[in-house]
Structure 1
Amino acid sequence: MRYSLEQLETFVAVARAGSFSAAARQLGKTQSTVSAAIGNLEVDLGVALFDRATKIPTLTEAGRRLLREAHGVLDRCLALEGHAQSLSESVEPGLTLAIEIPYNVLMPAFAAFAERFPHVDLEVRHPLHGDVSALVREGEAQLGIGFAQPGYARELDFVQMGKLVMAHVAARGHPLAALSTVNFSDLRQHRRLAFSAHSERLPTTEYLDATHCWRAESYLALLEMTRAGLGWATLPRMLVRRELADGDLVELQLGAYPHTDWLLGVDLLWNKARPLGKAGSWLRAELARFKVSETDSAGHPTAF
């Protein structure tokens, strides 16, 4: 079989136009050229693609089936051309991101990136021990998204993306869930389930202490352990809204903060000494414009 892409394009054009003459006009060719291309393709494939018994050729059963295959081949050719064009424009083949906040808030930005750069691979990493800035500083990730820190290395630059509300929660059967107001001394008597990224380093975490502490680098692991009653945890409220609404988890009301939510800034990080390629620069700009926010306990959007 030595059929060509031009023959497949002609086949698709005839099927779409409904006749050889109409396809010829669309392709800018003579009708005889189109007829010859279809005839040669039928010889190469060994099947009749069109029934010529009627005045207007119609697809045979084999033609209908092979038309789908032809569309698939041509679609793959377009993808190949697009990939080659992106490489010729110095678009990097892949990007690595280090992320420590819940991923769901970033999906709109990722969807826009996938549409703009369909051939660029994206790797998302959980930072080792929650240190987003270290991965970006060492070049293991081109961009980092994490909870704001009081100071970054000189090589790093950042922009704040917004704020998230952190909620102190326990399972509904946990002893802390029965208390109308929870003091720090109450927390210390029960196991703490902490996300490694902010177990010690974020503002006010020095008060969230306990005799025993289990740590995890996965929010989902902490969520499941909390639902199982293994301890209390501090998690992004947007991550546990469903569990709070269903009553599986109870938000602990801290006596020290009766009128305020615990808000944490979210920063986008990059290394000033490591220039980003075309895709990385576009994604950094998109994320910088993207606002991470949610509503607080009073129903108001978190402000910058």
Structure 2
Amino acid sequence: MFPSSEALLAFAEAAKLGSFSAAALKLGKGQSTISTAIANLEIDFGLVLFDRSGRKPTLTQQGEAMLRHAEDVLRAYSRLGQAANTFVSGHEPRLSVALSDTYQSDRFEEALNSFGERFPETELECLIAECDDLVTLIQSGRAQIGFVEQQQSYPADICARPVPEQTEIALYVARSHPLAEQKWIQADMLLQYRELRLSTVLGAQTSLSHGRSWSAPSYLMLMEMAQRGFGWAALPRWLVERFGRDSLYELRLQAWPRNIVVDAVCSRRQPLGPAGAWLLEAMLS
């Protein structure tokens, strides 16, 4: 039979305090209750946990080894109780956040530190998606909060609010690409070369070349394609600065780079729980 948490607690306190009577006093039990609980543990384990030959009981070598396991189990019991209390109070067991690669924010990383302290039992999942793909994740309930490049319009069931920070998108090519030889280019020069663009509905609508193009579902994949010289791409500047500075060249042309407003989005049909509401407010305040 698996020992009860009460028996394990009696064992742990007696070992810590060096006395069955002290453990009984701390736990509000009779000394005989503590002694019986520990004796039953020894029977269940088939081990002698305490040497009782002296004035005070002392742990045997087997008792010292078993104490470490008993403390692990007691900590697990404690986490189990904390989790139950958290979920009974309405906190979400899991929160999924969808992020666009356009958005890189120190605020988000700082908010996650506080989130982990405030909601230790809530599992946090981060997903990467762009534009209409990200909105679909929110609508389907696959994600509860999203941070996406601001769109001209949203479905009626999506609530959107801009975050305080903006981001920049610029045009890049590999340093070996012919366009990299030009210090300043005209927009019509882009038509002569392949565009690398997002494979989303919005990405198709905002295509700059209106000609031949390759597509990918994420900015990270587009950056890797640009690094290989397959074409030019509009990429978040922070992404290139962090991962592609040595291999990509920023094209200089009128109206670029562009400032991008990022919206925090959530569903009107599926209200956020306490953890989600706190995280959203932390990102907007």
TM-score tier by shorter-chain length is 0.7 to 0.9
Residues 1:249 and 2:248 aligned together: yes
Q: Which amino acid aligns with 1:184?
A: A
Range 277-286 or range 15-24, more displaced = 15-24
Cα separation, 1, equivalents of 2:183 and 2:237: 19
Task: Using the TM superposition, give the Cα deviation of residue 101 of structure 1 relative to its aligned residue in structure 2, in angstroms.
Answer: 3.0
CA-CA distance at 1:222 after TM superposition: 1.9
Residues 29/213 of structure 1: CA separation in 2 closer, same or farther (3 Å cut): same
Residue-by-residue CA offset, 1:89-120 (whole Å, 9 max, x unaligned): 23344344433236764444344434433444
TM (norm. structure 1) is: 0.77
1:47-91 per-residue CA deviation (whole Å, 9 max, x = no partner) reads 122344555544333223222321222222222222322332233
Query: Please, which of 268, 275, 281 is the counterpart of residue 271 of structure 2?
Result: 275
1:187, 1:210 within 8 Å by CA — same for their partners in 2? no
- Give 1:190's match in structure 2, choosing from 181, 189, 193: 193
Q: C-alpha distance in 2, partners of 1:28/1:37?
A: 14
Aligned partner of 1:163 among 148, 162, 166: 166
Q: Distance in 1 between matches of 2:40 and 2:102?
A: 57
Displacement, 1:6?
0.6
Cα pair distance change 1:200/1:28, threshold 3 Å: same
Contact 1:90 1:277 in 2 (8 A): yes
Distance 1:196 1:13 in 2: 61
Using the alignment, how far apart are the partners of 2:73 and 2:39 within structure 1?
Answer: 19
Q: 1:144 & 1:285 partners in 2: Cα distance?
A: 13
Q: Distance in 2 between matches of 1:129 and 1:267?
A: 11
Match of 1:266 in 2: 262
Structure 1 segment 100-111 matched on structure 2, within 5 A: 100-101=100-101, 105=105, 106-111=108-113
Q: CA deviation at 1:3?
A: 2.5
Q: 1:193 to 1:34 in 2, by over 3 A?
A: same
Secondary structure of 1:170's partner? strand
- Tell me how far 1:237 sits from its aligned partner: 1.7
Q: Deviations over 1:141-176 (max 9, x none)?
A: 432220011222343322211211213222222222
**Alpha-carbon distance between aligned partners in 2 of 1:163 and 1:18, rounded to the nearest angstrom:** 61
Q: Is the 8 A contact 1:96 1:122 kept in 2?
A: yes
Unaligned 5+ runs, structure 2: none
- Note the aligned Cα RMSD (angstroms): 3.0
Displacement of 1:25 in angstroms is 3.8
> Of 136, 142, 151, which aligns to 2:144?
142
Cα gap change, 1:194 to 1:2, in 2 (>3 Å): closer
Question: What is the correspondence of 1:97-246 to structure 2 with a 5 Å cutoff?
Answer: 97-101=97-101, 105=105, 106-127=108-129, 130-137=132-139, 139-161=141-163, 162-196=165-199, 199-201=203-205, 205=206, 208-209=208-209, 211-245=211-245
Residue aligned with 2:184, SS: coil
Q: Indicate conservation of the 8 Å contact 1:130/1:217, yes or no.
A: no
- Paired residues, what number? 281
User: 2:181, 2:55 → 1: CA distance?
Assistant: 82
Unaligned runs of 5+ in 1: 290-304
* CA distance in structure 2 between the partners assigned to 1:280 and 1:63 by the alignment: 45
Distance 1:148 1:212, change over 3 A: same
Residue 287 (1) aligns with residue 283 (2):
yes
Q: Counterpart of 1:155 in structure 2: which amino acid?
A: D
